């Protein structure tokens, strides 16, 4: 799974649409909403875990060489492979200063992950179920 601050929102939206697709095909009973909520929790937890490990340089993106190093990849998404310049200088990883502006920004971005998934779920309802979002998801 390819993760970065640029790619994760798109992947989370797609995961939300996929969840609604699964819900609409297989889980239309009342109790199944609990399964949908549980699935959402699992998806966000997986994203936080993998992206957090990348951000803290515990893991790297394979196949991207120096551009796939965890913290660097989270900020720059390997755009250098397209001939573009890095967005963020990560020669000193941004997590080294816990109260630094870039680390605070990273935390804020991580906190938006459930919102991106919710947006995908809302979009999934509109696209796949042709109904407004149910009250339980408001």
* Predicted confidence (pLDDT) per residue in 69-121, tens digit: 999 999 998 888 888 898 899 999 999 999 999 999 999 999 999 999 999 99
The answer as to whether 2 is a domain residue is: no
| Entry field: residues in the chain | 138
Helix, coil or strand: residue 41? helix
d(CA 101, CA 104): 5
pLDDT in tens, 47-59: 999 999 999 999 9
pLDDT (average), residues 25-36:
72
| Domains in the chain, number | 1
The answer as to whether 52 is a domain residue is: yes
The answer as to whether 1 is a domain residue is: no
The answer as to whether 92 is a domain residue is: yes
Q: What band does 2 get if pLDDT is binned at 50, 70 and 90?
A: low
The answer as to whether 66 is a domain residue is: yes
> 93: domain range?
8-132
Question: What is the structure's pLDDT at 30?
Answer: 62
- R_g (Cα) of the chain, nearest Å: 17
Segment among 36-40, 46-50, 130-134 with least mean pLDDT: 130-134
Please tell me the pTM assigned to this model: 0.85
The answer as to whether 138 is a domain residue is: no
The answer as to whether 64 is a domain residue is: yes
The answer as to whether 137 is a domain residue is: no
């Amino acid at each position: 799974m390819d993760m970065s601050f640029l790619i994760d929102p798109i992947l989370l939206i797609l995961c939300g649409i996929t969840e609604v697709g699964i819900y609409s095909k297989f889980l239309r009973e009342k109790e199944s909403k609990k399964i949908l909520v549980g699935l959402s929790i699992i998806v966000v937890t997986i994203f936080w875990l993998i992206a957090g490990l990348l951000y803290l340089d515990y893991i790297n993106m394979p196949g991207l060489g120096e551009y796939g190093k965890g913290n660097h990849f989270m900020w720059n998404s390997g755009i250098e492979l397209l001939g573009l310049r890095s967005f963020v200088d990560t020669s000193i990883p941004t997590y080294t200063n816990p109260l630094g502006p870039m680390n605070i920004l990273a935390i804020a971005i991580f906190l938006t992950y459930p919102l991106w998934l919710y947006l995908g779920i809302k979009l999934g309802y509109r696209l796949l179920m042709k109904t407004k979002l149910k009250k339980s998801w408001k």
